[in-house]
Amino acid sequence: MKFALPFFSRGTPASEALAQRQQVAAYDQVLVWVTVLLMLFGMVMVYSASIALPDSPKYASYQNTHFLVRQASFITVALICGALAFRVPMKTWQKLAPYLFVFTLVLLVLVLVPGLGKGVNGAKRWLSFKVFNLQPSELMKLFMVLYAADYTVRKQQHMHRFTKGFLPMAMAVGCVGLLLLLEPDLGAFGVIVCIAMGILFLGGINGVWFGGIASILVVVFGLVIGLSPWRRERIFAYLNPWTEENALGKAYQLSHSLIAFGRGELFGVGLGGSVEKLHYLPEAHTDFLLAVIGEELGFVGVLVVVVMFYWIIKRAFEIGRQAIAIDLTFAGLTAKGIGLWIGVQTFINMGVNLGLLPTKGLTLPLMSYGGSGVLINCVGLAILLRIDYENRIRMRGGRL
């Protein structure tokens, strides 16, 4: 494509060079807009889901717009951080990957230190900095993507071997898992395991070892659930949420989430018209935001959210395949890892809301209330955008 320029005749080398630079500088605008729209849609639904919370004693000192203002602030900061992350070349991210992983590992340890970690509902998952609370497990999801991609590239010739290929990575993931289980945060551990295993599989790990380790992980998760009475009770409640004991106990959130979806039917009861958010459905603005969307906007609203997330995940894998095809292996694995991360967490959150999976404390990426989650999701997608940008430069013969 050629452009009409005032100082160069059409088709001259100078005009073609400038046109090429303009094309190279282009970025995936659709990916940006889908991400921003999901965050803004989430902010509207967070406001709708939390507007009645000040009526309860727990939030009596809050204004009706408290969560709206904070979520808007989180999104603003996330977009700024995303813009800064986009400017960092993938070569720099690759060099920083091991250090970022170790840094976040230290933060996970600090969470467990008395006086440093902040506990909510019996779980210590946050570090309090007065102005905001940082959740290190959210950082670990992104940095595990970077670390696993870098590890796979560095150990590419040993990926078929157990001791030099798989074992070191398994030990690193095991350390992360132990710290997360001590918080406890089984949901985040599950997401991180899926990220690490997925990237190793995409990186060419021996299929036999992969299948064997996957089986062992299933047993480990089964033992963790089986040896924990409250987790066991939650599983049994999930299997039959409508008995009186379960509906008023461990399956209380699930039963009211299903009621919300049932009330929404096809087109919903209207924005702001949810009844379940009126102190019936706990954590409606965080873990169960999709249930409020289902009640107020119906099946159509939920379908729109599902399609938008599907597009992001599909685009991440397309960008990853493109990067690997032009020998940008680290960038390609990182792109696919980001797709795995967003996809697995979205699937778990939606599965929990719809009663397909047991209740877990995982938020809906980009949409649920929370600073750490929105910030890291935005930075992760900015890195994905950077990978696509570098792909375009390389395919047009430019230098990175």
Enter the tokens of residue 272.
Answer: 């702001």
What percent of the chain lies above the pLDDT cut of 90?
Answer: 57
In this predicted structure, what is the pLDDT of residue 195? 93
| Mean model confidence pLDDT for the chain | 87
Cβ 55 vs Cβ 279: under 8 Å: yes
Q: Of all residues in the chain, what percent are helix, strand and coil, respectively (each to 5)?
A: 70, 5, 30
Dihedral of CA 234/240/243/248: which sign? positive
- Extract the tokens encoding 274: 């949810």
pLDDT digits (tens, 9 = 90+) for 192-241: 999 998 998 888 776 676 777 777 777 877 787 777 777 777 787 788 88
- In angstroms, the CA 9 to CA 85 distance is 38
What is the C-alpha to C-alpha distance for residues 21 and 15, in angstroms, rounded to an integer? 10
C-alpha closest to that of 142 among 81, 85, 195: 195
Pairwise CA distance, residues 345 & 140, whole Å? 13
For the stretch 313-334, pLDDT in tens is 999 999 999 999 999 999 999 9
At residue 337, does pLDDT exceed 70? yes
**Dihedral class, residue 204 (left if φ above 0, else alpha if ψ from -120 to 50, else beta):** left
Q: What is the pLDDT of residue 10?
A: 44
**Residue 324: predicted pLDDT:** 95
For 49-101, what is each residue's pLDDT tens digit?
999 999 888 888 899 999 999 999 999 999 999 999 999 999 999 999 999 99
| DSSP letter, residue 6 | S
* Structure-block tokens of residue 314: 């599909």
Q: Tell me the pTM.
A: 0.89
| Whether pLDDT at 188 is above 50 | yes
pLDDT recorded at residue 121:
65
Q: What is the pLDDT of residues 123-154, one digit of tens each?
A: 778 887 777 788 999 999 999 999 999 999 99
Task: Give the pLDDT confidence of 248-299 residue by residue, as tens digits.
Answer: 888 899 999 999 999 999 999 999 999 999 989 988 999 999 999 999 999 9
